[in-house]
Structure 1
Amino acid sequence: MKLPSTHLKAISLDTIRLDRSALSLAVSADIDFDRFADFAEPLAAALDCTVRERQWGADRHQWLLEFEGSQLWLNYEFYGNICWLSTEREADFEVLEYLATLLQPHLRVN
């Protein structure tokens, strides 16, 4: 499900970090667990991803995203204040590298 960009607020990220060994792209930002969708929907839109599934529990959100046929997991853990995109396929790490370039304009300037 893609939302029109006119209905989304801008995202602002503190850091982004690729980790090839974990097949992940970590992002840090001001994320409110109870309003995770307010962060995740604009993030998915900025990455041109489609949201396929949304799961959540007591301290974790996990969304399944799709980018041009690649499946990615968007994870957020409340207690560690950790948010990351991950893939299960090593071949899709290049997708995470590309998505990191799309996030660069959303980094806060200190």
Structure 2
Amino acid sequence: MNIKTVQLDRGSLSLAITAEVDFERFGEFAEPLALALDAKVRERQWGADRHQWLLDFEACPLWLNYEFYGDICWLSVERDSDFEVLAYLAQLLKPHLKAAQNAGQ
């Protein structure tokens, strides 16, 4: 899991993740990400250019999205009151950012 950056966006209730993601092998990115977040995969949906997985983190539903053409990956919540969960998850991903940055040095 090679995560380069994470960025919270309260307006869209999302956590953008910049990473190297292979659309055809999305599971090889998403499964370790869910494990790192201690989230359970509830559903997997995909189409011609998008993956959308429903995750469960401590009874909070999270959507993990990846769009091929924009090379965009993000986690989102549906309720404003769940934004704190995304902020917490951003903190959980920080060690993975450092590992990716240190590997590049």
Structure 2: runs of 5 or more not aligned:
none
| 41, 46, 70: which one aligns with 2:36 | 46
Structure 1: runs of 5 or more not aligned:
1-10
The code of the aligned residue for 1:104 comes to: K
Alignment of 1:4-83 (within 5 A): 11-83=1-73
Aligned length: 100
Distance in 2 (CA, whole Å) between partners of 1:34 and 1:12 is: 16
Identity across matched positions, percent: 68
TM-score, normalised relative to structure 1: 0.89
Distance in 1 (CA, whole Å) between partners of 2:3 and 2:96 is: 6
- Which structure has greater helix proportion? 2
Once the two structures are superposed, what CA deviation does each residue of 1:7-66 show, in whole Å capped at 9, x if it has no partner? xxxx22111000000000000111000000000000000000000000000000000000
**Aligned-residue CA RMSD in angstroms?**
0.7
The code of the aligned residue for 1:101 comes to: Q
| 49, 59, 77: which one aligns with 1:87 | 77
Task: Show the counterpart of 1:7.
Answer: none
Once the two structures are superposed, what CA deviation does each residue of 1:60-99 show, in whole Å capped at 9, x if it has no partner? 0000000001000000000000000000000000000000
Which runs of at least 4 in structure 1 moved beyond 4 Å after TM superposition? none
